[in-house]
Chains A and B, each alone.
Chain A
């Protein structure tokens, strides 16, 4: 065979195949369109869907079904990623590649400053219809200097304290939600009560050091960055959070990273007494503890948050300019972030609305939570929203620094000397700049 040439047809075919292969590969490798320019708009074909990626639990399943039934020409398909950190990496990779993003991208509130600082890749969503829809601070966090609105807020995270009434009772503490609320109006009281609690109980006072740290951090006005976006870790608020949490790591914390398997298991094992509790945290508590609750387990919500109010989390829906269906996407997110829809989600998952009208909606204000001992959740979280006085400033690096800060606290939990762990933290943050 070695010296026998191929018949011409086959030869031509082979050459053609190679050329095709090379051209295809070359095309696949390079030549992205500019992601800061809007993609060419196309109408949705038959069988084609609008895509949305969310993380955690947005409570959209039933609502999307409702929308799809009512809008046969705009079908929506949701992809759920379980953790924000995982979705953040994927999102970064896709932004980097300039392609592969869904039509609608859900973004954690902490990441919004990074978008606002580099707005070119995102569609300006401002329109008359949504003016004044959200709480001022939610809207401000998604608005650029030029007044472009880059995200529609979904929920807000006013924090209360969720606690195990049965464990409180066993440890000889009052378990009634009003009495509990009166016992933890400041962080000093909260930690003191914890030290009393652990003397008479096998459980840990809180779910994770990182969780309490983040809750406290949400009351610091400039946690990591100054108003001009320069990083400043040498501030009293941050030092206080770090020192306090380190001090109580041994006595009050289970010393497991928040969101880890051991963290999840502690709920089911009845090892967690209190949790800093934004509205959305309730579905995590419910899922981790088990629904219906194991025998004797009574979760409740106290209408209080140590040190005043605080907001933890709350997400946004955004549309990247790479989406070829921006009109349809805008239509959909305008609908799904409307107060009526968000009120339904509150009942379903506990994600507290960030829309002004939804806060006055009787289905929200009158809502009770059966799993949490029929606590008047609507009333409690509305009160908690009103108690928020400080809106911490989040610069473009906030989300990244927060990740490193959580690592620093996890190191202390694992037995590293707090000062040494802090040094590593400042080093790692320096490496981010």
Chain B
């Protein structure tokens, strides 16, 4: 049963008599409602984003222009771009950038390739399909800290499983925590172990959405399974591919837990020589450990700009590729 007022709102009179002010007001309110409500409904996201996303971002920018009083945990005086100058001239920061890109390449590239292959295998008529599909997601459920504990002992320098195998083959054991590139490899394997299955499931969902008659006509034309994969599956899942590449790029440039916990020196600054310190770890060390919030903020902004730059590059390359395939 509708009350008089609600009924009035649902069905506004086409031309209200000018004498009935009450009705006019109600009508106006109803118009606002239609106009404003949608914005109100989506506003929680933007309010939340403003509070936990935009505000910290801007505040970090503000901090990066100031000195920091370490002893008193207080913001110091305005120092212009001094923090940026310091960070860009800090050899440790440059080292951390190189490490970040090295770990990113060692993780994201194989990750996407393997994920596509796994998805393609899961897309076939396997027995116990759900079981296999769920299994690839299991590593994702394991907390990163727990995963690092497992991998830490697998890749331990003196008593690790991998080194035991290498030793058994009669080769020189690898110093996983010491040697720069090998430590990147160890960290990248943790990242890959965790994310490959997750990405494979996203690819699988995309592959299932590919119309089956495309495959049918392809096989009528005499295309084998591999040719079908290259000429039908891959082009059809391109949008998903872009999504996965972009998200794994962003994730890959922000690796933190793995190098932090993989470290066995008490300072945990990415190895004694910072051989596997990533840029996010650099930000943490500068801010939380060394208590230089200005410098940490400057480094955070530089990383932010780098990520934005790479995202734009991704976007440009993708547009180029889609346009070419469209023609």
Contact = CB atoms under 8 A, between A and B. Distances in A.
A117 B73 CA distance: 12
Given A25-B48, A411-B273, A85 B267 contact: yes
A92 B156 contact: no
Interface residues of B, number: 44
Contacts of A29: 51, 55
Interface string B144-156: 0000000011001
B9, B86, B158 — which one has the most chain A CB atoms within 10 A of its CB? B158
Contacts of A411: 272-273
A7 interface: yes
A26 interface: yes
Interface string A154-197: 00000000000000000000000000000000000000000000
A257 B156 contact: no
Interface stretch (A361-369, A372-380, A402-410): A402-410
Contacts of B288: 89, 92-93
Contacts of A120: 72
Contact of A403 (B91, B175, B267, B273): B267
Contacts of A117: 71
B30 A262 contact: no
B43 A18 contact: yes
Interface in A71-127: 83, 85, 89, 92-93, 95-96, 98, 114, 117-118, 120
A407 B273 CA distance: 7
B43 A5 contact: no
B258 interface: no
B216 interface: no
B265 A410 contact: yes
Contacts of B47: 18, 21-22, 25
B33, B175, B265 — which one has the most chain A CB atoms within 10 A of its CB? B265
B44 A21 contact: yes
Interface in A1-58: 3-8, 14-15, 18, 21-22, 25-26, 29
A227 interface: no
B13 interface: no
Contacts of A424: 273
B159 A96 contact: no
Given A117-B71, A407-B267, A262 B178 contact: no
B267 A396 contact: no
Contacts of B293: 96
A406 B265 contact: yes
Contacts of B123: none
Contacts of B264: 256-257, 260-262
A432 B48 contact: no
Contact of A261 (B9, B52, B156): B156
Contacts, number: 107
A258 interface: yes
Given A5-B37, A262-B157, A85 B268 contact: yes
A202 interface: no
B61 to A, nearest CB: 17
A13 to B, nearest CB: 13
A407 B272 contact: yes
A22 B49 CA distance: 11
B133 to A, nearest CB: 35
Interface size range of chain A in the complex: 35 or more
A70 interface: no
Contacts of A428: 92
Contact of A18 (B44, B86, B92, B175): B44
Interface string A391-433: 0000010001001101110110111100001001001100110
B10 interface: yes
B273 A414 contact: yes
Nearest to B71: A118
Contacts of A335: none
A56 to B, nearest CB: 12
Nearest to B285: A89
A265 interface: yes
B290 interface: yes
Given A18-B40, A25-B52, 18 more contacts: A3-B34, A5-B30, A14-B40, A25-B47, A25-B51, A29-B51, A29-B55, A85-B266, A85-B267, A85-B268, A114-B71, A120-B72, A257-B272, A259-B266, A260-B264, A407-B267, A414-B175, A414-B272
Interface of B: 5-6, 9-10, 30, 33-34, 37, 40, 43-44, 47-48, 51-52, 55, 71-73, 86, 90-92, 152-153, 156-159, 175, 178, 264-269, 272-273, 288-291, 293
Interface of A: 3-8, 14-15, 18, 21-22, 25-26, 29, 83, 85, 89, 92-93, 95-96, 98, 114, 117-118, 120, 256-262, 265, 396, 400, 403-404, 406-408, 410-411, 413-416, 421, 424, 427-428, 431-432
Sorted nearest first, the 7 A-B pairs with minimum C-beta distance are A410-B272, A260-B264, A118-B71, A257-B265, A411-B272, A5-B33, A414-B178
28 contacts: A4-B10, A5-B9, A5-B10, A5-B37, A8-B5, A8-B6, A18-B44, A18-B47, A85-B267, A89-B289, A93-B288, A95-B73, A120-B72, A256-B264, A260-B265, A261-B153, A261-B156, A262-B264, A265-B158, A396-B71, A400-B290, A407-B272, A414-B175, A414-B272, A415-B178, A416-B273, A427-B91, A432-B290
